[in-house]
Amino acid sequence: MGVLAAVNALAALVSAGSSVAGVVRPGLGLPAGEPVTVGTHVYARAYSARAVPLGVATAVVMAAGTAAVAWPMLLVSGLAQVGDSAIGFRLRNLGMGFGAGAFAVLHLVSAWWVAR
């Protein structure tokens, strides 16, 4: 499970890091030409407030947890990534859509693999 755990931990940390990048530059998630508003700043901070703890918790569980703890954490992280992917595609942000979608598949397939 070592490689699987490392890949999932890295994906979780990349997701958390991208949310921090969104706080620093809130326009990253917007379509080209879309203005950055107060709402954009609020959304970026709210998203990061969820993504950072979830990403760190997933990475820690993958590094130190047992299979009994890892699969539910991967399931939750994967479902969160499904939502992130849907938001990305809705905003026509293909990087977010495909990136979060790939991480969703990774986490959900890994959750299934670990649980079996």
To the question of pTM greater than 0.95 for the whole model, the response is no
Long-range contacts of 75-80 (CB under 8 A, 24+ apart): 75/107, 75/108, 75/111, 77/8, 77/12, 77/103, 77/107, 78/103, 78/104, 78/105, 78/106, 78/107, 78/108, 78/110, 78/111, 79/104, 79/108, 80/50, 80/51, 80/54
Q: What is the largest CA-CA distance in the chain?
A: 47
Could you read off the pLDDT tens digit of each residue along the chain, which spans 116 residues? 789 999 999 999 999 999 999 999 998 878 778 899 999 999 999 999 999 999 999 999 999 988 899 999 999 999 999 999 999 899 888 999 999 999 999 999 999 999 99
